Structure 1
């Protein structure tokens, strides 16, 4: 496709025409979806502000008539998608899409895919990340008409991740997450001996910005209007004795189940109790992280181990598990289990 570059002042990025107008017929899979969400999917890489602009301007038509962003589409509707203009940077993303990549599959059927996400890969592009799991998976499965993330994991967290293959599966599974009908349990290695009696952390969390503009999360009080109730359940799986000769303190491997899904919830809750996750570069103990790195741990020790949910079509209760990846399992093998605390 030939790009058309229009003149602009020298210091501004020239807008680039990314496509010609086209008519897209809505199939049954997308029936009931809002027009704005439909277009955001059709116009991947185009800023949402542009999408809303072309809807307001009337350039987008549904069955030859104007429609609002919140209009619900029906099967068979004909949607006119106009040509859009984006910056050179955004156009470059469209011309150089994410590389195709498959991920280890724990379960797959016509409704969903359960994958074992590796650490170091974002689940989606954005915030300085060009692409993530979902963009790479879509590229690898170009024949798939629908692939959407059901939930998210931090970039440095590995483990069970759900992807929907149908819109009905997406909405059904997300309803379960919102209704707290899922069971999400992580494995986390923390500094120190976790007291077995400390089984519930019910402490509100609040987002804030650092001076450099980076988003962080901290604990707060129940009377904080901007605080959000956050609940974490903790069970000790193993306790590891100190290794003074190697500069490592006692450590505990925890099974952590979250009842609420707040940003950085596990990391902040565990750190607030004086037991930060080993390898956590935001809320952890930096000296411990440095020593653990010398022992071969080059990532945060947080892994989405188990996910329980109802299958969106059959309603069968499923329990998916992703065992510890080699880099975490190998680090544990170098430690000595202290059976007195196990």
Structure 2
């Protein structure tokens, strides 16, 4: 049995991410299993995988045999990404689709490991929030501990503005502008997240609100501007799919047959969900910043060429 004390650098992070970093070589499935079983304790109490730890918390970890392979950070290729904003407190990049934000669950490395490898001189670099592997767009990282805490507080308090571009199958009804549906997240034995719509009365359901505006309608698809009022896991993907208009190319919640046919016809193989704008208060100056990531070339080409309409997004 070992006990870990949460330091200032670790405070605010999820319990599962702390353990996955500390217990390198332990299968991810086993880490989630001991959390679910209650063998992992935080301040002597049971905790969930998504519990946020605080400085000074004591994490009790049961005995586990550690392998000794090379860590993801050590084996990660050094890679920079297009920079949207950078100063001594923040780094904002345009994340491409197909790159996870961090390693784990069969992914050897992600944005954070690759950036750390590319910037060995960086004393501090942490993810402020996350984007799905299949989603492109604005991704924010902190270069100081104080910036991470301040920004994560804003995200939790919903003081940030998040706007996405999504191409969905079918003709979205223009009168539907608000989706207000509770969501419930579960983890399978492999730690894979699955989210579904549940009744507002569901004991584990969390109210989730998505605003939708039609940008342009095409023959078989609709381009939407989507604004998040809450930030649940897979919220946009599940809300749109539940409404009968899954996102083009969504491999988890989408229409698999239509995805395959669309990819064959248009040579477009990614999910069309792009975090195009993020607004927040600078953690040091308090100035409101609005950062924008241009639509990736493959998405812009699809809209201009295959869909036959030039759009400036």
TM-score range, shorter chain: 0.7 to 0.9
Of residues 40, 44, 47 in structure 1, which corresponds to 2:23? 47
Matching of residue 312 in structure 1 with residue 283 in structure 2: yes
- 2:252 matched to which residue of 1? 282
Structure 1 gaps of 5+ residues are: 1-29, 57-68, 73-84, 242-249
Does structure 2 retain, via aligned residues, the 8 Å contact 1:151–1:161? yes
Superposition pairs of residues 259-278 of structure 1, within 5 angstroms: 259-278=229-248
Could you tell me how far apart the structure 1 residues matched to 2:198 and 2:11 are? 39
Cα distance, 1:36–1:183 mapped onto 2, change above 3 Å: closer
2-structure distance, mates of 1:121, 1:277: 18
Q: Match for residue 193 of structure 1?
A: 171
> TM-score, structure 1 length as denominator?
0.72
Match of residue 273 from structure 2: 302
Question: 1:111 touches 1:169 (CA, 8 Å); kept in 2?
Answer: yes
Q: How far apart are 1:87 and its partner, in Å?
A: 3.0
Secondary structure at the residue paired with 2:22? coil
1:1-342 → structure 2 map (5 Å cutoff)? 32=8, 45-47=21-23, 70-71=55-56, 87-88=66-67, 90-93=68-71, 96-208=74-186, 214-241=192-219, 250-294=220-264, 295-333=266-304, 334-337=306-309
Aligned length: 273
Task: Show the counterpart of 2:47.
Answer: none
Maintained 8 Å contact 2:137/2:293: yes
Contact kept in structure 1, 2:95 and 2:138, CA below 8 Å: yes
Deviations, residues 156-203 of structure 1 (Å, cap 9, x unaligned): 000000000001110111111011000001100001111111010000
- Does structure 2 retain, via aligned residues, the 8 Å contact 1:103–1:117? yes
Q: How far, CA to CA, are the matches of 2:291 and 2:281 in structure 1?
A: 11
Which secondary structure does the structure 1 equivalent of 2:140 belong to? strand
Structure 2: how far apart are the matches of 1:177 and 1:148? 15
> In 2 relative to 1, CA 230–140 (structure 1 residues): closer, same or farther, beyond 3 Å?
same
Q: Which has the larger radius of gyration?
A: 1
Q: Per the alignment, do residues 31 and 141 of structure 1 end up closer, same or farther by CA in structure 2, a change over 3 Å counting?
A: same
Cα distance, 1:92 vs structure 2:
2.1
Aligned partners of 2:182 and 2:207 also within 8 Å: yes
Unmatched tracts of structure 2, length 5 or more:
1-5, 25-30, 32-38, 44-53, 58-63
Q: Secondary structure at the match of 2:152?
A: helix
Q: Residues of 1 paired with 2:299 and 2:275: CA distance?
A: 12
Paired residues of 1:34 and 1:71 also in contact (CA < 8 A):
no
